[in-house]
Amino acid sequence: MGQQLLGKEVTKALNERIMGQVAECKEKGVEPTLCIIRVGENPSDISYEKGATKRCETLGVNCKKILLPETVTQDEVLKTIDEVNKDDDIHGVLLFRPLPKHLNQAEIENALVPEKDVDCMTDLSMSGVFTGKKIGFPPCTAQACIEILDHYGIDCTGKRAVVIGRSLVIGKPVAQMLLKKNATVTTCHTRTKDMPSVTKEAEILVVAAGKAGVVDASFVKEGQIVIDVGINVNEEGKLCGDVLYDEVEPVVEMITPVPGGVGSVTTSVLVSHVVEAAMRTIA
């Protein structure tokens, strides 16, 4: 039976760290502030917004909201981005994506200054992930994977890590972040031949395939650490990951559950990025 890597334990420790940093900022006259920009009324955006707002309140971080109609023009969104760029009281910006199809999303994303890009929306922030420089911030979900490994004392140095998935949201950045932690990293994707033979060589397996239950017992072996990034809804309407948990959990040494794993850490990572952005203005 594999040990559960519970997100709530990671979040508790992360929140304590954040509150200490918030107190430091406030002592120096800086109020860490997140600005959420939402276009339209997408239910999943509204749900995440509620969670982020509540987490900010809990941790003493201000949260400002800018709500724009679905019919908003490109120029109006760019004007909004320009305003938040120039507002010194705003330290981090979260823009919900995807944007409506009539908008040029890439242009809007890259209009934000990387210093306030707390979820790796801009190309410059992504360059920071790949170069190791402090330009913006890594994607919150990718950072959540690293926070879990760190919290549970899992040293990546010298370990073989396999990442399933090559998206810019999870796969590619988390592979780079594992590399920075001195793991030897292999990336698998839809064109990988005989994927189970590759994943079985891993000591750390990060699954970000974007498809429910794609990893079963044939992909794993004893002693592995499995980080399941996937969030899907199964035929019964229940949340599930990209890993068939009931098959994989009895085999491996450690595994994140879904729900209750990576996803539960992501919101605290977002707030931690806002606070770090605020601290950088002090430094």
- pLDDT tens profile 92-113: 999 999 999 999 999 999 999 9
Domain match, 152 and 241 both: yes
Domain match, 172 and 255 both: yes
Give the CATH number of the domain where residue 211 resides.
Answer: 3.40.50.720
pLDDT at residue 236 in the model: 86
pLDDT at residue 2 in the model: 83
pLDDT at residue 203 in the model: 98
Domain annotation covers residue 18: no
Domain annotation covers residue 254: yes
Domain match, 163 and 252 both: yes
Can you say how many angstroms the Cα of residue 197 is from the centroid of all Cα atoms in its chain? 28
Give the CATH number of the domain where residue 45 resides.
Answer: 3.40.50.10860
Domain match, 62 and 164 both: no
Q: What is the pLDDT of residues 47-63, one digit of tens each?
A: 999 999 999 999 999 99
Domain annotation covers residue 167: yes
Domain match, 185 and 246 both: yes
**Gap between the Cα atoms of 278 and 22, Å rounded:** 9
Domain match, 34 and 86 both: yes
pLDDT at residue 237 in the model: 86
Q: Output the six-digit token pair for 68.
A: 């724009």
**Gap between the Cα atoms of 141 and 13, Å rounded:** 17
Last residue of one domain, picked from the residues 113, 128, 148: 113
Domain match, 68 and 148 both: no
DSSP class per residue in 109-152: HTTS-GGGBTT--SHHHHHHHHH---SS---HHHHHHHHHHHHT
pLDDT at residue 244 in the model: 96
What's 114's DSSP letter?
G
pLDDT at residue 1 in the model: 78
Domain annotation covers residue 273: no
Tokens 């600005």 belong to 35
Tokens 């085999």 belong to 251
Domain match, 184 and 256 both: yes
Give the residue numbers spanning the domain of 240: 140-263
**Which parts of the chain have pLDDT scores under 50?**
none
**Gap between the Cα atoms of 149 and 226, Å rounded:** 10
Domain match, 151 and 248 both: yes
Domain match, 88 and 160 both: no
pLDDT at residue 235 in the model: 84
CA dihedral sign of residues 77, 82, 88, 92: positive
Domain match, 104 and 147 both: no
Domain annotation covers residue 2: no
Domain annotation covers residue 124: no
The total of structural domains in the chain comes to: 2
Domain match, 216 and 259 both: yes
pLDDT at residue 92 in the model: 98
pLDDT at residue 271 in the model: 98
Q: What's the one-letter identity of residue 129?
A: V
